[in-house]
Chain A
Amino acid sequence: MYRAQVRVRYFEKKAYDLFLQNLVKGTSHLAIGQEAIAAGVAAALRPDDYVFATYRGHAHAILRGAPMAAVLAELLGRQSGLMAGKGGSMHLTYAAGNFLGSYAIVGAHLTIANGAAWSARYRGTDQVAVAFFGDGATNIGAFHEALNLAATWKLPVLFICENNLYMEYTPIATVTAVARPAADRASAYGLAPIVVDGNDADAVYEVALAAVARARSGEGPSLVEAVTYRHGGHSRADPGKYRPDEEVAEWLAKDPLPRYRERLLASGANPAVLDRIEAEAHDEVEQASLAAQGAPLADPAELERQVFADGGATWRR
C-alpha cells in the first residue's frame, strides 16, 4: 500500500510539473493528499471488481493497472493516450482493469455503478462495484437516487465518499444540512454511518474490506465517508487561497505518505526497501513522462472514430 501511495503521489506531481510547463492543456484535478483512500480501497478489491471514479481520477486509474505512460499521454493529448486523446484527464477509463470510467458530471456514476453491481449479481458472479465521489456529490439528486436503488435492490456496491472538506471552492459544511455529508445521510437509506480517517491507508483498507465482504455475501451496499484533504486547489486553475493557512498546515502535517512510511518503519520495515519503492516509482514516472512527451499528437483521423459500434461516426445512409 505504501508503493501504491507513492506511485500516485509521484504521478500527480509529474502531472502538475507538466501543467506548469504548459504541456497539459484543459483542466485536471489532482489527488495529492488523498492517496490513502485510493490505495486502501484498491487493496481490498479483486481484479474483476468494477471501479468508477470522478474527474479527480488519475489515482484510481493507475491503481487499476492503467499504464502511467498511457495516462500521461492522455493528459498531453497524444495518440498513445489511454483513450487516444478523446477523453482527457477527466474521463480516464481502463476497461482492461475493470476501471469503468472517470465521470465529470458530479454524481452520475453512482447510478452507473449500481448497474454494474446489478449485472454482476444477475450473471451470478460475486464481483462488486465501487464508486468514488467527492463530498460535493452528496448534495446532488443522483447520489440520493443511487443510494435508494442500491439499498432497495441490495446491490453489491461500495459508495466511497472522498470528503476533502471542499466542494470545489466552497467549504462543504457551509452548503450541507448535516455535519457529515455522506455518513449523516446513510440512515435515510437504512445504511450504517461509516466515517474513516481518509489519510490512513490501513484504516481505509479495513473499512473497505468489511464493505466488500458485505457486498459479496449479498448483504447490500455500504456508504463510507473517508475524510481527507487535497493539498492543492480544486483544479489546475485554482491556487486554493480560500483555505485558512492554519487549516492547510494542520492537514499537511497529516500527509498520508510520511505517516505511512513512519508506521512501516516503526513496525520494523527496512528503510532501504522503502527507499527502493520510492526510487522505482520515481523511475516509473520519469520513463512514463518521457514516453508520453515523445509520443505523436492525437491523430485527427481519430476524430470520427468510435462514435458508434461499427467504429465510425456515420449517422446516415
Chain B
Amino acid sequence: MATLTQVATRTVTYREAVALGLAQEMGRDPTVVLIGEDVAAAGGVFKATAGLLERFGPERVRDTPISEQAILGAAMGAAMTGLRPVAELMFADFLSVAHDIVANQVAKARYMTNGQLSVPLVVRFGNGAGLRFGAQHSQSVESWLMAVPGLKVVVPSTPADVVGLLAAAVRDDDPVMFLEEKALYPMNGEVPSGEHVDQLGVARVRRHGKDATIVSLGTMVHRSLEAAAQLATEGVECEVVDLRSLVPLDVTTVAASVTKTGRMFTVEENPRLCGWGAELASIIGEECFYDLDAPVRRITSPHVPVPAAGSLEDAMLPSAERVADVVRRALG
C-alpha cells in the first residue's frame, strides 16, 4: 500500500493507467506477458495497451486471433508453467465464449489437483454499460465471475486503483479477473509517480458520513458520490464504500460502516437477480441485523438486457438522482 499523501502524483486517464500498470509490472518481472485481440500493434481496441509492444517487443505483447478459448487457454498453460500472463478479453461480454476456460479450467485447477497446479494469471475485461453499444457489448459480468469458486474479482474505480490493483493482481498467485469499466476509460485522476502496488480485498471509504452507507463498485461509485453530495446539501450524510473487489470481499469495512450508520444501500450496475449486492445484503442481514435500522435496499439496473438507445440505457442504469431518491425516501 504505497498510497501516501506526500507521494508525488501525476494525472493520467483510467485508460492510460492500464498501460502504466502493465508497464510497471512488465518492467519489473520478465515473466509478465500480455496477449489478446488487437493488444499489440493496435494498442488495444480501447487503446489501453498503447505503447507496450514498442517497449516490450512482440514475444511479450502478442496479438491473437479472435479465439477467446485459445487466448485464455494459452494464458492458463503459460501460467501453469512459470509465466504470469495478462490476457485481454476485450469486451467483458466475450467471457461467455470462453467461460469454460475461466469457470471449468482456470478456477478449478488448483483445487482439483490439490495444489499441484497454480494459475497466476490476470484476465482483463472492458466491462459495463454507458457507451450505447447494446446488449452484447455492455454487460456487467462481475456477478457471473463472483459465483465461481477459485476466482478473484477486481473492479477499479479510479486511475490510481487501476495501477495499484492491476499490480497487485499480476503479483497474486491466484487467477484474477480484472474488470475495467469502459465508461471510466476517459476519466482523469491522480496516480502516484513511483511504483504503486495496492492490496486486493480492501474496500475504500470514499466519503464519510453518519446517516447511511452506500456500497458501490466501479462506475457506480462515482454516481454514488454524486448522490451523496446532493444528499449532503439536504442534511443527509452518506458514507460511500467502494468495494474495489468482490473476491476477496471486504465485509469488515462494510460492516463497520453499517454499524455506524444503521442503514445500507447497494448501488449495482448489474441486472437485479443475483447481483453482488444480494450476497452482501444477505451477509449484512445475518451479521449486522441488530445494527440495522431498516432493511438493506438494493439499487440495480432492472432485470433487462442492456438496450442500445441512449435514452433507454440512461433509464436503465442507476443514476445519481435515482440513488439519492431511494436514500431520501428510505430515510424520510
Contacts and interface: CB of A to CB of B under 8 A. Distances in A.
Given A116-B80, A122-B59, A149-B65, A91 B113 contact: yes
B150 A307 contact: yes
B82 A307 contact: no
B75 A145 contact: no
Interface string A137-157: 000011001101100110000
B77 A129 contact: yes
Contacts of B174: 308-309
B114 A306 contact: yes
Interface residues of A, number: 50
B149 interface: yes
Contacts, number: 161
Interface in B132-152: 149-150, 152
Contacts of B183: none
A149 B64 contact: yes
Most buried by B among A148, A314, A316: A316
A114 interface: yes
A186 B118 CA distance: 32
Nearest to B113: A93
B83 A119 contact: yes
Interface string B54-77: 000001001011010110111111
Interface stretch (A79-87, A163-171, A202-210, A285-293): A79-87
A159 B17 CA distance: 40
B189 interface: no
B69 A87 contact: no
Contacts of A103: 105
A313 interface: yes
A111 B69 contact: yes
Contacts of B47: none
A117 B75 CA distance: 11
Contacts of B72: 111
Interface residues of B, number: 51
B248 interface: yes
Interface string A282-317: 000000000000000000001001111101011111
Nearest to A142: B69
A112 B67 contact: no
Contacts of A96: 116
Contacts of A112: 73-74, 76-77, 80, 101, 105
A115 interface: yes
Contacts of B112: 83, 86-87, 91, 93, 101
B70 A146 contact: yes
Interface string B88-125: 00000000000011001100011111111110100000
A306 B78 contact: no
A279 interface: no
B220 interface: no
A152 B65 CA distance: 9
B113 A87 contact: yes
Contacts of B65: 145, 148-149, 152
B327 interface: no
Contact of A114 (B74, B100, B149, B250): B74
Contacts of B59: 122
Given A93-B112, A108-B105, A117-B77, A317 B100 contact: no
A105 B104 contact: yes
Contact of B248 (A120, A302, A316): A316
B111 A114 contact: no
A315 B74 CA distance: 26
Nearest to B67: A145
Contact of A83 (B62, B64, B113): B113
A50 interface: yes
Most buried by A among B65, B101, B112, B251: B112
B249 A316 contact: yes
B242 to A, nearest CB: 15
A146 B73 contact: yes
B247 interface: yes
Given A93-B116, A145-B65, A145-B70, A122 B83 contact: yes
A160 interface: no
A53 to B, nearest CB: 13
Closest 6 CB pairs of A and B: A115-B77, A111-B73, A309-B173, A145-B70, A145-B67, A95-B116
30 contacts: A83-B113, A87-B113, A91-B112, A91-B113, A100-B80, A101-B117, A111-B72, A111-B76, A112-B73, A112-B74, A112-B76, A112-B77, A115-B76, A115-B79, A115-B80, A115-B81, A115-B85, A118-B74, A118-B78, A119-B83, A122-B59, A145-B65, A145-B73, A148-B67, A149-B64, A306-B111, A306-B114, A316-B251, A316-B283, A317-B202
Interface of B: 33, 59, 62, 64-65, 67, 69-70, 72-83, 85, 100-101, 104-105, 109-118, 120, 149-150, 152, 172-174, 201-202, 247-252, 283
